[in-house]
Structure 1
Amino acid sequence: MNAERAVIDIGSNTVRLVIFGGPPRAPTILLNEKVTARLGKGVAENGRLSDKSMQAALAALARYATILRLRRVEHVDAVATAASRDAENGPEFLAAVRALGLDVRLLSGEEEAITSATGVTAAFPGACGIVADLGGGSLELVDIEGTNCTHGTSLPLGTLRLPQLRSEGSVRFTRRVHKMLEAADWTGSAGLPLYLVGGSHRALAHYAMHALDWPFDDPHGFSMSADEALNLCQVIDRGKLSTSIPMVSASRLAMLPDAAALLAALITDLQPERIVFSSWGLREGLLYRQLSPAQQALDPLLAGVTTFAEQLGCPRGFADTIAQWTSHASIPHEEGHDRLRLAATMLSLAANRMEPNLRAEESVEWALRKRWVGIDGEGRAMIAAAACTNAGHEAVFPQLERIASSRQLLAGRIWGLAIRLARRFSGGTTDALTQSALTVENGELVLSLRESVATLYTSAAEKDLKALAQVLGMKPVSRILVTESAAIT
């Protein structure tokens, strides 16, 4: 049975097929195709889908249906959103889609909003704030708190409608947005993060990252303060756009001023604390809803990193053992750092499957640039610091200092030194770690070993222990337990 899962998203601007593989809780994209059919353009102009847009969409959908048949993908979720929902001839168009053998569902505005927000909560476990998903035909807004998605609404503020709305002038446009929000009871939510979803929002993130020369190129998880976002919107609204932005198409670039004007109006009304960009939205929300409660409860970061590391021959069990063995070798840390330390352990072990001259650079690239979810920029930087320290670099890469605090990077370096000690001392064996222990006792970093593994403690292991103790500000001590029954703690 083919484990691949597919989503067909018939949107107002694009018609897209995405085929997913990988772990269910952290799916990876195997195929991503889109056609810019602009179904919503005619709807915005005269309330109907144009013949040209329907022909483009149906041609794309016929191709998608053939691809799915040839790949034998059995799990397919096809949905249509605002343009098909609002168009006078929407039912006729959807009948033509079904004639292609695609069992398409028409989502209501609330369903679209809640499903998109579900994708955000799946990517940011425990998130609390507001989701704003900007599509071609509509803007969806949803309150999120943990796994709860409420107060979903859909407003006619899609990118294909914005040019006409903005033609009345910025003051009238801002006032119109305010009235729509007020009518939908979307005011007075100050101080919460605003999570932005949709292609135009991702283009805004790419623009900001390019302007800042940011070390990442994946917009997922990129964050700005509300004031920084307002300044960005003002720059874009004044027309000071670069002619070419990596990862942003010319058509998306042309939409940026409209998207920026809408975001500025949302920030003014909703008063968020900060802006967070999410690459997960409707399509990922559809996948997440199909998971069992046990699968939904999994940590998406650890699910993704585990699968990646195991593909390189690094079993999760050994990483768990190292993470437990090194757990005392750390500075006081915040809640959630243990999962980051485990992820750093897995990636560090995976990097050791690479050629020595590639390990540091490759593992830092993995930490910073792979599309992990359930992690922010600071967490990525901490994992990168651990990975390059594990690979033998005494100093972290300079770009990390732009992302995380010195204390966070110090924590990452300590993780890396501890992983390096465990990995090299044990020779990659679990038994060596279960017959030894790394503890902190009265300001000393103590490595206790049973006699059966005492020969593993060489000058190289002594050097690694000293390096870790020095960063922790402790005295390194090694202790051989001559009695095999002595407790290893």
Structure 2
Amino acid sequence: MGRSMRKAPLRMVETSAHVLAGIARTPSPVFAALDLGTNNCRLLVGAPAGDGFRVLDSFSRIVRLGEGLHRTGRLSPDAMERAMAALHGCAARLARRPVRAVRAIATEACRRADNGAEFLDRVRKETGLAIDVITSREEAELALESCSPLLRSGGRRALLFDIGGGSTELAWVRLPDSGRPELIGYVSLPVGVVTLAERFAGSADDPSCFHAMVDDVADRLRPFESVHCIGHEIRQGGVRFLGTSGTVTTLAGIALDLPRYSRPAVDGAVLSRAAATSALDRLRTLGRAGLAAHPCVGPERADFVLPGCAIFAAIHALWPAPEIVVADRGLREGMLLRLIRGERGRGPRPCRGGLSPFPPPRGTLKARA
């Protein structure tokens, strides 16, 4: 365990699906959620357990579906073949067990690509998976669905951000004294780790290129700030700042000095502003070879970590919250929770928390000495 973890224990949820998974239970209906993103293809299979679900199977593969989309406006043949291989694998996993319901979604790459609908029609014919292209608003709602338990430890408002491969979603949220979080406003920026990496020709570890990325994203964020005055709310206090993405979980892994990435150690961690800034600075000094060799990054993600850090740096500079709650959960978990709620006869309720396998945050990680 790293030095930072010994100095500052984390503050996380006390009961979770990880605990529930080890308890013998009567057979429950099984649900599955598939998220085909610009960079990743992810599958999660679970069964209801308590107020959440227990994970039965999961899958994640980097497919880079949006590679080249910024230049051509189309999904490339190589990108589609990579995604098809992953989707065939997902279909095979689902065929091994009786599944009550499957929700499968696609996000920014298929929203933007001229041939996105054509590709998803091919997916349905070859794999049997019917994938819906969701709106950016539903992306924000699903992220809030899965992350809302991490927002229960106080505050009046929350800013949730999800840095994806092709877009970045931000949700401005009201936290009532009782009941579920409520979405006040949201914005989807057409920049993610893949699109930003492709738009800027220089290497992201070059300071001038990195700062150009930060400035580009900050310019896109200012209209959202002018509408909601989030900076003023942060200065008044009572605003929770929550990030869910590979970028933010990587920063947490670096801040914790993890010998390899650990979801239980990262999900629900609370980083101080200084700790997050220090982790970002450390990532920027590694260079591509160092990023590829780092156990919390790896060769497949080495080209996309610093563009993600640039997006994070722009968000963090415009809205300087004193702490960041880190969430290793997102659209798949939100979809499963909605499916389970529908099974229980309550019907899906967009942008509401409630059922979750995860507990709240527990502890603030300070900057390394």
TM-score (norm 1): 0.57
Instruction: Tell whether the 8 Å contact from 2:40 to 2:62 is kept in structure 1 after alignment.
Output: yes
Q: CA deviation at 1:242?
A: 6.4
Alignment of 1:181 with 2:234, yes or no, is no
- Alpha-carbon spacing, 1:24–1:68, altered in 2? closer, same or farther (3 Å): farther
Contiguous gaps of at least 5 residues in structure 2: 1-26, 176-180, 203-207
Alignment of 1:106 with 2:133, yes or no, is yes
Identify, as 1 or 2, the structure richer in helix.
Answer: 1
1:104 maps to amino acid: I
- Alpha-carbon spacing, 1:59–1:164, altered in 2? closer, same or farther (3 Å): closer
- Alpha-carbon spacing, 1:46–1:183, altered in 2? closer, same or farther (3 Å): farther
- 1:330-349 to structure 2, matched below 5 A, reads none
- Determine which structure has greater relative contact order: mean sequence separation of CA pairs < 8 Å that are 6+ residues apart, divided by chain length: 2
Q: CA deviation at 1:274?
A: 1.3
2:250 maps to amino acid: A
Q: 1:272 is matched with which residue? A: 321
Q: CA deviation at 1:106?
A: 0.8
Helix, strand or coil: the match of 1:77? strand
Give me the whole-angstrom Cα distance separating, in 2, the residues matched to 1:145 and 1:126. Answer: 13
Query: In the alignment, which of 119, 143, 147 is matched to residue 146 of structure 2?
Result: 119
TM-score (norm 2): 0.74
Q: 1:350 is matched with which residue? A: none
Alignment of 1:172 with 2:201, yes or no, is no
- 1:264-303 to structure 2, matched below 5 A, reads 264-290=313-339, 291=341
Query: In the alignment, which of 155, 180, 194 is matched to residue 160 of structure 1?
Result: 194
Q: CA deviation at 1:12?
A: 0.5
- Alpha-carbon spacing, 1:8–1:173, altered in 2? closer, same or farther (3 Å): same
Helix, strand or coil: the match of 1:39? coil
Query: In the alignment, which of 216, 220, 229 is matched to residue 276 of structure 2?
Result: 229
- Alpha-carbon spacing, 1:39–1:217, altered in 2? closer, same or farther (3 Å): same
Instruction: Tell whether the 8 Å contact from 2:211 to 2:310 is kept in structure 1 after alignment.
Output: no
Give me the whole-angstrom Cα distance separating, in 2, the residues matched to 1:185 and 1:111. Answer: 21
Instruction: Tell whether the 8 Å contact from 2:47 to 2:53 is kept in structure 1 after alignment.
Output: yes
Alignment of 1:204 with 2:251, yes or no, is yes
Deviation track 1:163-208 (CA, whole Å, cap 9, x = no partner) reads: 2444373443332212101234467423233211122322222122
- Alpha-carbon spacing, 1:23–1:255, altered in 2? closer, same or farther (3 Å): same
Query: In the alignment, which of 300, 304, 312 is matched to residue 255 of structure 1?
Result: 304
Q: 1:6 is matched with which residue? A: 32
Q: 1:377 is matched with which residue? A: 363
Query: In the alignment, which of 130, 135, 142 is matched to residue 171 of structure 2?
Result: 142
Query: In the alignment, which of 44, 54, 60 is matched to residue 18 of structure 1?
Result: 44
Deviation track 1:6-50 (CA, whole Å, cap 9, x = no partner) reads: 111111101121111351633232211123211111212321111
Give me the whole-angstrom Cα distance separating, in 2, the residues matched to 1:134 and 1:283. Answer: 15
- 1:385-396 to structure 2, matched below 5 A, reads none
Q: 2:11 is matched with which residue? A: none
Give me the whole-angstrom Cα distance separating, in 2, the residues matched to 1:83 and 1:214. Answer: 27
Give me the whole-angstrom Cα distance separating, in 2, the residues matched to 1:10 and 1:181. Answer: 25
- 1:376-455 to structure 2, matched below 5 A, reads 376-377=362-363
Instruction: Tell whether the 8 Å contact from 2:68 to 2:198 is kept in structure 1 after alignment.
Output: no
Q: Number of paired residues? A: 310
- Alpha-carbon spacing, 1:66–1:197, altered in 2? closer, same or farther (3 Å): same
Give me the whole-angstrom Cα distance separating, in 1, the residues matched to 2:263 and 2:363. Answer: 9
Give me the whole-angstrom Cα distance separating, in 2, the residues matched to 1:198 and 1:215. Answer: 14
Q: CA deviation at 1:297?
A: 7.9
Instruction: Tell whether the 8 Å contact from 1:47 to 1:86 is kept in structure 2 after alignment.
Output: yes
1:237 maps to amino acid: R
Q: CA deviation at 1:52?
A: 1.1
- Alpha-carbon spacing, 1:282–1:243, altered in 2? closer, same or farther (3 Å): closer
Helix, strand or coil: the match of 1:157? coil
Deviation track 1:97-127 (CA, whole Å, cap 9, x = no partner) reads: 2223222211111211222122111444366
